Amino acid sequence: MKQLVQAFPTQLQEALIIGQSYRFQTPQKEFKNIVLTGLGGSGIGGSIVQNYVSDKISIPFLVNKDYTLPAFVNENTLVIASSYSGNTEETLSAVNQALKAKATVVCVTSGGKLSDIAKKKNLDCILLPAGMPPRACLGYSLTQVLYILLHFSFIKSDFEKNLKATIKLLSEEEKEIQKQAKSLAKKLIGKTPIIYSSGSFEAVGVRFRQQINENGKMLCWHHVIPEMNHNELVGWRTKDPSRIVIFLRNENDPERVQMRMEINKPVIKKYTPHVIELWSKGKSFFEQVFYIVHLTDWISVYLADLNGVDAMDIEVINNLKNALSKA
């Protein structure tokens, strides 16, 4: 897993080449809504893109993480199916529903049943390099979603420039990122991490939680501000030094959100002394997102080392899938 995390900047470069090289057969048309369906490591890229396009696309963009699609999906819907393995049963179920609803379907996968469906139904299908854990392929899958949106004229191509700047930033900061991650992992070991972020950075918080779960083999939770200030803040009532709070910060977060974070810190410190902040670097959305993603990915694999576990191991998930296949 360490090798895969370290190769993330290279993955982004390869992802750009894949996206630039793909030739769509589906013609442009006017859609009334967009649904990206995908789970886990294959779906989190869609959640990050959802945050990115929230102020750029004038039609609804929904990320679906279930077997079923919303009832509004029809011939005016663009459905992006993201399943790295191509065998995610929830995603395959949603794709079959999308086809029955006569939606336009575009697939992102490394193969499997999803690729077979795409060939049979003559769907656009962007193929990714195979043989890796889905959570280690965020750069591949997310970038292809951007190229799909570009093809259908929902966004402009400036994300390419921003991703190239991201690659440069991560490459320059790699040693410092690893050093910081090692230090932070030591602070998290033996504690329950609680991740707070702005709403526009929620997907990054979710990604961090998922990586702590899968790589570090630890439980944690996340919430967003300001919503957290309307409920969870009241739950801070008992001193518990086994909890550690991580605020994900950006210099360009909304001013009122930053004020709330500053007010929240002393409230939380009454109940745990462990409160830290992770500040992003870079100017663009993707520089800031991927700086924190890369840093927190490293934290998760160092946590695996400290916990004495294999970051690659997901036996419990495989057992669940095997049990479902027999049902």
Residue boundaries of the structural domains of the chain: 2-156, 173-307
d(CA 138, CA 11): 9
DSSP string across 12-46 = HHHHHHHHHH----SPP---SEEEEE--HHHHHHH
Active site residue 191: no
232 catalytic residue (yes or no): no
Q: Is 321 a catalytic residue?
A: yes
Q: Look up tokens 């995390």; give the residue.
A: 5
The whole-model pTM stands at: 0.95
| Residue range 42-96, pLDDT digits in tens | 999 999 999 999 999 999 999 999 999 999 999 999 999 999 999 999 999 999 9
Q: What is the CATH number of domain 173-307?
A: 3.40.50.10490
The predicted model gives 262-277 an average pLDDT of: 98
- Out of 90, 214, 217, 274, the active site residue is 214
From CA 267, how far away is CA 252, in angstroms rounded?
23
CATH code that applies to domain 2-156: 3.40.50.10490
pLDDT at res. 260: 98
Instruction: Kindly report, residue by residue over 100-140, the tens digit of the pLDDT.
Output: 999 999 999 999 999 999 999 999 999 999 999 999 999 99
Instruction: Indicate the length of the chain as a whole number.
Output: 327
Q: Which residue has the higher pLDDT, 319 or 101?
A: 101
Residue 260 belongs to what H/E stretch? Answer: helix 255-269
Asked if the model's pLDDT at residue 314 lies above 90, the reply is no
- pLDDT at res. 324: 87
Catalytic residue among 230, 255, 315, 326: 230
User: Exactly one of 32, 100, 102, 321 is catalytic; which is it?
Assistant: 321
Q: Over 90: is that where the pLDDT of 318 sits?
A: no
Q: How far is CA 296 from CA 117, 133, 208, in A?
A: 35, 17, 6
- Do 2-156 and 173-307 fold alike per CATH? yes
pLDDT value of position 123: 98
pLDDT digit string, tens, across residues 219-261: 999 999 999 999 999 999 999 999 999 999 999 999 999 999 9
- State the chain's mean pLDDT as an integer: 96
